[in-house]
Amino acid sequence: MPRQDLEYPKETHNTVKRYNHLAEYSLRTIHSIINSTPLLHVSFNTPNSPYPATIPMIGQMGSFDRPSADLGDVLDLYIHGYISARLTNLTRTAEGLPVTVSASTVDGLLLSLTPFSHGYNFRSAVLFGHAAVVTDPAEKLYAMELITNKVVPNRWNESRSPPTAGEMAATAVMRVKIDTGSAKVRTGPPSDDKGDMESEEVREKVWVGTVPVYTVVGEPKVAEYNLAKEVPKTLVEWRKEANQDAKGYAELAAVKSLAPKKKKEDE
């Protein structure tokens, strides 16, 4: 029997209204977008400013209590910061600081018959939750390893670790307990209005198609003070696999809709 795909509850603040046919509430989809996006944007209100603050940060979904949990399970978001930073200080409350976390990736340029119909293939996700400073040393160490390995898999074990007492004291880790979230995913070729599609003159004049867009991880460049003889094998293999996966997804998304079939109640 197939495993049920868990979804975040639809609340007023996370329900997608515009282009809601692109909406996803699946934990697996949302967590995958968060974990595959190098930089997240964390937004929060500050007491002495009329404007919300938004900070780019590194973060990763995980579960300290259930380290083997997969992306489709209920997870927390761990984000890395400096011990005296504004966000860190604001999270030192019993209830935690309300935050909104967003991530987005462009997968293709949609070139249509008219400027009005141009757009992107993309994946985006938004999480809503409450951030609090992690105080348990074991959980903090778990989160630091989790976040480090987001940069490059297994980098924690292939660098000088664990951190020194001074490094641990200077670093803050925040756990965001997720209340809800949503995602929007657009794949497939461009589309145009019926009137333009029926005009042979327009269709003969204007090139239409999709340009795949993907991040390429470049060749490692050695630092001046490096004494290690070889680039780690895990880095070489990860770079190759990451580039293949990114290119493969963007090129497939350019010509085919990859959206899962919607349940009747979602239509």
Contact 122, 184 (CB under 8 A): yes
**pLDDT on residue 266:** 52
The one-letter code for the residue type at 220 is P
Contact 72, 28 (CB under 8 A): yes
Q: Specify if 51 maps to a domain.
A: yes
Q: What percentage of the chain reaches a pLDDT higher than 70?
A: 95
Q: Specify if 248 maps to a domain.
A: yes
Contact 27, 74 (CB under 8 A): yes
Query: CA-based angle 156:42:21, to the nearest 5?
Result: 105
Alpha-carbon separation of residue 233 from 220, 222, 237 (angstroms): 12, 15, 6
Q: Specify if 111 maps to a domain.
A: yes
The one-letter code for the residue type at 189 is P
Continuous segment of H or E residues that includes residue 204: helix 200-205
CB burial of residue 164 (10 Å; 0-12, 13-18, 19+) = exposed
Q: Is the C-alpha dihedral spanning 13, 29, 57, 136 positive or negative?
A: positive
Q: Name the average pLDDT for the chain.
A: 93
CA gap 57, 78 in Å, rounded: 10
Strand-pair partners of 109: 120, 211
Mean pLDDT score, 95-108 = 96
Domain that holds residue 224: 20-258
Mean pLDDT score, 100-104 = 98
Q: Specify if 147 maps to a domain.
A: yes
Q: Specify if 9 maps to a domain.
A: no
Beta strands in the chain (DSSP E): 23-24, 40-44, 53-57, 59-62, 76-82, 97-111, 119-133, 171-186, 209-212
Six-digit token pair at 14?
A: 């996370």
Q: What is the pLDDT of residues 104-161, one digit of tens each?
A: 999 999 999 999 999 999 999 999 999 999 999 999 999 999 999 999 999 999 999 9
Alpha carbon 93 to its chain centroid, in Å, reads 26
CATH code of the domain covering residue 130: 2.30.110.10
- The number of distinct structural domains making up the chain is 1
Six-digit token pair at 217?
A: 């991880």
Q: Specify if 200 maps to a domain.
A: yes
Q: Specify if 12 maps to a domain.
A: no
pLDDT at 183 over 60: yes
DSSP state of 244: H
Q: Specify if 15 maps to a domain.
A: no
pLDDT at 264 over 60: no
CA gap 246, 260 in Å, rounded: 19
